[in-house]
Amino acid sequence: MFAQAVTNAALKIDPARLAVTRGLERQASGHLMAITSLQKKNAGETLFAEGDDADSVYEIVQGMVRLYKLMPDGRRLITGFLSAGNLLNLGSDRICIYTAEAITAVTLCRYKRSAFERLIDEVPGLARRLLVMTSHELRAAQDRMLLLGRKSATEKVASFLLLMADRQDSDGDAIEVPMTRSDIADYLGLTIETVSRTLTKLKQDDLIAIPTVTRIEILDRDRLEDLAGGEGDAEI
């Protein structure tokens, strides 16, 4: 398995690029950078598996990661798609509670857990910064619960596209979807056929365009928002 870990001195990590140091004073950022290393993973590689020792906290610097758990019957449940600025393994559990895989080529900032936890107590502002980031994670979990609630397949797919656009700050309504249709189906609790059929119908109705398999353009955001909110034709 390809994995590369190098010191921050070798790659000259810019603290301004890291979400965990945002808002911290230079000296505080310096303490964090002293325990930091970078790892690179190719698309399809596993960052860590469910049940592994959670001896490190990671921040995604570049790329996209899928998180999933395996059900007792072997089915996969995707619990999230994370991109730059998100933390992995931040919880206090000593084992990894999910598997993380690279969807695209990924660059990760690795913090050794023991050193990281010491700095939470020692670095001014770090605990508050982590609270903000944890609050964002909680909101993402609540968004997913809403997606998996009583929404129809069309409402789920429409909501997913809008969620991806919001996360990518896509003011031009062009979003990158590097995950597979199977990934999307597992995330939304649908079948691959339903996801593909729904995307095709949204395209035929001129709500979206699909120039490539990994890129979707929102053509009519108002109608898509109506569908996501259950105010449109949920059976398109």
208-228 pLDDT tens trace: 999 999 999 999 999 999 999
Greater model confidence, 143 or 177? 177
Query: In terms of domains, do 171 and 134 share one?
Result: no
| Three-class secondary structure of residue 84 per DSSP | coil
What was the pLDDT predicted at 1? Answer: 36
Which of 114, 146, 178 represents a domain boundary (last residue)? 146
Question: Average pLDDT of 136-140?
Answer: 78
In a domain, 117, yes or no: yes
Model confidence at 147: pLDDT above 90: no
Query: In terms of domains, do 83 and 101 share one?
Result: yes
**Residue range(s) defining the domain that contains residue 179:** 150-228
55-83 pLDDT tens trace: 999 999 999 999 999 988 888 899 999 99
Q: pTM score, two decimals?
A: 0.84
CATH number assigned to the domain comprising residue 80 = 2.60.120.10
CB proximity list for 122: less than 8 A, separation 6 or greater: 31
What was the pLDDT predicted at 161? Answer: 94
> How many structural domains does the chain have?
2
Measured distance CA(88)–CA(107) in Å, rounded: 13
8-57 pLDDT tens trace: 444 467 777 788 888 888 888 888 888 889 999 999 999 999 999 999 99
CATH number assigned to the domain comprising residue 192 = 1.10.10.10
Measured distance CA(68)–CA(136) in Å, rounded: 19
Query: In terms of domains, do 141 and 28 share one?
Result: yes
